[in-house]
């Protein structure tokens, strides 16, 4: 199924209530973000089945800063999707920004375990995103809430990764400061399509900083195109700014917030080892 169709199905999965039936093993991905944490569940055909996400500040710049808060959040999201599916989720894959330390990577796994799931695999975020995108040659840039992760792909293989602070949360902070409003109000305003044209001049300098980060890491590399993912990539005009500063054609899929969670979930079964179904426990009688 084309990428855009899968992303549209993911949006429907978030809104879906009780799931009446599904076939095959479940593929589960947990994306611990600086702004939003999401659980994405795919069916045996790797199609979005159900998903849930919530705004929370338990992670900062890709690092878990509120361990118990992160566990509680994942537990709530897990309970939400389990109530829709009628089964208990016992394992999941997750991801991390490529620039963080091994100890911080392990903290991601510990959050999943604290929430009652075995962490079967940990993948860097832009590589996870490319599991869905399937870029053969180019750069996949995951602009999350707190950091920008970059993966350079040659002949279908990731040959370089990097990550630096600066992301969508910095958009929100600039809006809050300029408007004299709370962070939460600024976050809502940032997502309002009606006022985004007015906000663009305010946050363009942050976009330019992200673009400069990308340009610096891609210097000297033969990169024919850039694909932006992550929630910040949905802001109108962002791809144009990146293309202008890097000189490289830049695009973003629709609903870019769902790309990495879907990619994480797609890689879940691969960690099971023998390809056998991921175990679940039935909740319905």
Half-sphere exposure for 118 (CA within 13 Å, toward CB): 11
| Helix, strand, coil share of the chain (percent; to 5) | 45, 25, 30
Residues 122 and 128: their CA atoms lie apart, in Å, by 9
Would strands 138-143 and 118-124 be described as parallel, antiparallel, or unpaired? unpaired
Question: In the chain, which residues have pLDDT < 70?
Answer: 61, 269-285
Q: Are 226 and 250 in contact (CB under 8 A)?
A: yes
Backbone angles phi, psi at 66, to 5 degrees: -130, 85
pLDDT tens-digit series, residues 134-147: 999 999 999 988 88
Are 109 and 12 within one domain?
Answer: yes
Q: What is the pLDDT of residue 281?
A: 41
Query: Which residue range forms the structural domain that includes residue 221?
Result: 129-257
Instruction: Convert 182-195 to b/e letters by CB count within 10 Å (16 or more is b).
Output: eeeebbebbeeeee
Helix pair 3-15, 125-133: axis angle to 10 deg: 110
- The separation between CA 165 and the C-alpha centre of its own chain, rounded to angstroms, equals 15
Quick check: helix, strand or coil at residue 46?
A: coil
Helix pair 3-15, 259-266: axis angle to 10 deg: 100
CATH number of the CATH domain containing 149: 3.30.420.40
Owner of token pair 């962002």? 238
Residue 192 falls in which region: left (phi positive, over 0), alpha (psi -120 to 50) or beta: beta
Q: For 86-138, where are the alpha helices, taking DSSP H only?
A: 102-114, 125-133
Are 190 and 236 within one domain?
Answer: yes
Are 228 and 239 within one domain?
Answer: yes
Q: What average pLDDT does the structure give for the chain?
A: 89
Are 35 and 154 within one domain?
Answer: no
Are 87 and 192 within one domain?
Answer: no
Q: What is the pLDDT of residue 139?
A: 97
Count of the separate structural domains present in the chain: 2
Are 111 and 134 within one domain?
Answer: no
Quick check: helix, strand or coil at residue 217?
A: helix
Helix pair 183-190, 196-218: axis angle to 10 deg: 90
Are 86 and 112 within one domain?
Answer: yes
Strand 157-165's sheet: what is its strand order?
157-165, 147-154, 138-143, 226-229, 250-251
Backbone angles phi, psi at 235, to 5 degrees: -70, 125
Are 210 and 268 within one domain?
Answer: no
Q: What is the pLDDT of residue 283?
A: 44
Are 272 and 234 within one domain?
Answer: no
Q: What is the pLDDT of residue 254?
A: 92
Q: What is the pLDDT of residue 269?
A: 67
Are 134 and 158 within one domain?
Answer: yes
Closest Cα partner for 54 from 126, 145, 122, 118? 145
């Amino acid at each position: 199924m084309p990428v855009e169709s899968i992303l549209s199905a993911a949006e429907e999965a978030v809104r879906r209530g009780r799931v009446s039936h599904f076939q095959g093993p479940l593929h589960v991905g947990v994306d611990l973000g600086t702004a939003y944490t999401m659980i994405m569940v795919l069916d045996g055909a790797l199609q979005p089945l159900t998903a849930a996400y919530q705004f929370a500040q338990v992670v900062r710049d890709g690092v878990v800063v509120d361990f118990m808060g992160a566990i509680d959040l994942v537990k709530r999201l897990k309970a939400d999707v389990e109530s829709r599916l009628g089964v208990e989720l016992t394992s999941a894959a997750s991801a991390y920004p490529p620039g963080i330390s091994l100890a911080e990577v392990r903290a991601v796994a510990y959050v999943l375990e604290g929430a009652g799931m075995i962490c079967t695999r940990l993948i860097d975020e832009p590589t996870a995103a490319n599991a869905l995108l399937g870029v053969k040659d180019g750069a996949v840039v995951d602009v999350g809430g707190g950091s920008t992760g970059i993966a350079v792909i040659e002949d279908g293989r990731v040959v370089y990764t990097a990550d630096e602070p600066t992301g969508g949360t910095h958009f929100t902070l600039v809006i809050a400061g300029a408007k004299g409003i709370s962070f939460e109000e600024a976050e809502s305003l940032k997502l309002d399509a009606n006022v985004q044209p007015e906000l663009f001049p305010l946050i363009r300098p942050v976009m330019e900083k992200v673009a400069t980060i990308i340009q610096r890491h891609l210097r000297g590399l033969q990169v024919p195109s850039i694909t932006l993912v992550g929630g910040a990539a949905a802001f109108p005009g962002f791809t144009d700014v990146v293309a202008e500063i890097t000189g490289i054609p830049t695009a973003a899929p629709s609903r870019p917030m769902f790309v990495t969670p879907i990619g994480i979930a797609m890689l879940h079964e691969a960690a099971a080892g023998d390809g056998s179904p991921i175990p679940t426990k039935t909740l319905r009688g």
